Amino acid sequence: MADFLEQIRQPNNVSEHTDHVKAGRISDEVAIKVENVSKVYKLYDRNRDRLKEALHIGHNIHCREHFALDNVSFDVYKGETVGIIGTNGSGKSTILKIITGVLSPSAGDLTINGRISALLELGAGFNMEFTGIENIYLNGTMLGFSEKEIDDRLESILEFADIGDFVNQKVKTYSSGMFVRLAFAVAINIDPEILIVDEALSVGDVFFQNKCYRKFEDFKKQGKTILFVSHDLGSISKYCDRVILLERGHKIGEGEPKEIIDMYKKVLVGQLESAVNTNKSEQMSEGSKWKDLMQLNPNMDEYGSGLAEFEDYCAYDQSGTITNTIIKGDEFTVKVKIRFFETIQDPIFALSFKNMQGTEITGTNTMFEKITTGTRKAGETVTVTFTQNMSLQGGEYLISLGCVGYREGNFTVYHRLYDVFNLTVISSKNTTGFYDMNSIVTVSHDQPDPDRE
């Protein structure tokens, strides 16, 4: 193992960040200080414009600036557990990556007071060709630990991960559950002063998640600092001392969990009066499409015979706002528009939900629902809506759409879109498994039987 460590150890390998982090301590109380931090990305209409700018060729290069973060400031005090919430694209993961040194800010200052351990992405920093044991030493060394210090922590890491003999196999053979167990075990058992987690607990079974949250509670008792992003509002409410709300790169709220969660729910349904938040449905200009207001998957899989085509699609919440975010328990609708290029008898329209690991969770179609769709003629456009209550657990889901049927006795896929967009389910209470049975639970206090006294 010593030879292995020598290969991966870099000079001055300590858990310090890049030049944008100020040296020295902030105070005896503040663990993380974020001051007027912005992160700007340049968006180019053409790839050659990006190349021209890199080579300093030409003067009329057109690009747009996208502010992933815009002048964000906050402090995290030692011993606090602070949550960051916000809709997709609000800048949550960006600010965590800046704090951990993965990204550099375009403007502003950041000061860190303490050793950070971060779990930003599943197995980030792991080498897929190394075994689990080798990756433990790799990550520990990158955090500035000596081999002996890692040796001292190895037993607790292995006990927490609980993946058995797989720890001696290459991690590329691991399931996603084993991957996150080991990654989280390393991050949480190397004795950090500051732990930063980005939605890592959404992977793994409910018992492992419970073990992780118990570790959170142990950390809080030890006076350590935790900063984490989660869509699970129940966990945010239970574990956080303070919550920060981001929206479109701006910090629009900070305070007690209940206050900020209530504000977040207003953001989700377009009811919060803010310069950075408007009802997306009102942004539609003439000629625009529903899908233009959705966050779409650029790598979706689509195929079909070409006899019909999904022209447009979206999801909208119970207030009528087009959105990728739905509150658990609320009614929501997926709406699609299909154009037919030939006459088709009784097309079947389908909707399905997968989790992020690709497992199909639920779905329906017009045949299951016993809806007769009739004959659709060439040039005709049909709008189909699927309306239901959101009973899935809080988390991320991928939506697939289909238009299929039987043509001349043969099953035919007219058009199918796999994983076309995601839906983020915001939950203040998760139960076991994929969906919530919405059980009504009562507990009564039985009166003592006097005859047994």
Tens digit of each residue's pLDDT (9 = 90 or more) over 263-285: 888 887 666 654 344 444 445 55
The answer to whether residue 180 sits within a structural domain is: yes
pLDDT at 24: 37
Question: In one letter, which amino acid is 386?
Answer: F
pLDDT at 309: 97
Summarised one tens digit per residue, pLDDT across range 371-426 is 999 999 999 999 999 999 999 998 889 999 999 999 988 999 999 999 999 998 88
d(CA 384, CA 313): 9
Contact 108, 186 (CB under 8 A): no
Same structural domain, 209 and 333: no
Same structural domain, 173 and 250: yes
Rg over CA atoms, the chain: 25
What's the pLDDT band for 30 if we cut at 50, 70, 90? Answer: very high
Same structural domain, 58 and 175: yes
Reported as half-sphere exposure (CB side, CA atoms, 13 A), residue 342 has a value of 7
Summarised one tens digit per residue, pLDDT across range 419-448 is 999 998 888 788 888 899 989 998 988 777
The answer to whether residue 444 sits within a structural domain is: no
pLDDT at 46: 62
Residue 307 belongs to what H/E stretch? none
User: What's the domain range around 219?
Assistant: 2-268
Maximum mean pLDDT: which of 182-186, 261-265, 269-273, 303-307: 303-307
Report whether pLDDT(200) > 70: no
CATH number at 246 reads 3.40.50.300
Strand order in the sheet with 116-119: 116-119, 194-198, 225-229, 81-86, 242-247, 250-255
The pair of three-digit structure tokens given for residue 154, joined into one six-digit string: 């190895």
Same structural domain, 124 and 68: yes
Summarised one tens digit per residue, pLDDT across range 251-266 is 999 999 989 988 888 8
The answer to whether residue 81 sits within a structural domain is: yes
